[in-house]
Structure 1
Amino acid sequence: MENEWSYKERKVISIGAVSELTGLSERQIRYYEERKLIFPSRSDRGNRKYSFSDVERLIDIANKREEGVRTDEIRMEYKKEKVKEDRETRKKMIQGQLNARFMGQNNGKRFN
């Protein structure tokens, strides 16, 4: 699973390739960056680099735009999703810490 995450998150795809993959123009892609919907990295020469996750997000954005959803509404939706993911991650980390602490004290029994 970790390898899947790393390849999907690596920022290695050029804007031209992203345009071909998504069917969006380079101008549309830059616009979504301006609207804080995607966050490409920059190469040493200043070229934008995108990940496979960015490509998936751009396709999602394009679909929502076709349905008439405004970019500010999409951004708010993504922020809510991020907060929810962060809470779930925090909860799992705390549960893992509790399990680690009590497993040593209770002969390896897990508490969920």
Structure 2
Amino acid sequence: MTGNDFSYRDKKVMSIGIVKELTGLSERQIRYYEKRKLIFPDRTTTGIRKYSFSDVDRLMEIADKIEEGVQTHEIRSELAKRDEKQKTKEVREQMIKGQLNAHFHYRKL
């Protein structure tokens, strides 16, 4: 995704306290999932973690899988495959848009 392509769901604007309230997870659990490379919050210049609504959804999915007995390394592998598939889809869509724009001589004003 580039610049303006970000959905509001992907903007990292929430603190860990808000995420904790939304998910019902403890700060310790959220930090553990970050340590296990299951989520990737942004950090402010002062080191404060910032999360998106997409991160909240992902945390809820992780918590459900943990409850089902799935190991964190298995979750990480599954999420990595899904993320890669999504990136490939986005690149493909951008290529098609570029080809259509070139074909129809579209120019942004």
Tell me the TM-score normalized by structure 1: 0.80
Amino acid at match of 1:74: I
Q: CA-to-partner distance for each residue in 1:84-103, whole Å, 9 max, x for gaps?
A: 11221222222222223333
Q: May I ask how many residue pairs the two structures share in their alignment? A: 103
Partner residue in 2 for 1:56 = 57
Structure 1 residue aligned with 2:71: 70
Partner residue in 1 for 2:35: 34
- 1:87 alignment partner AA: T
C-alpha distance in 2, partners of 1:43/1:4?
19
User: 2:98 — aligned with what?
Assistant: 97
Identity, % of aligned positions: 52
Question: Which string of whole-angstrom CA distances, capped at 9 and with x for unpartnered residues, describes residues 65-96 of structure 1?
Answer: 11111111111111111111122122222222
Unaligned runs of 5+ in 1: 105-112
Moved over 6 A (4+): none
Q: Which consecutive residues of structure 2, in runs of 5 or more, have no partner in the other structure?
A: none
Match of 2:87, as an amino acid? D
Q: Measure, in 2, the Cα distance between the counterparts of 1:44 and 1:100.
A: 39
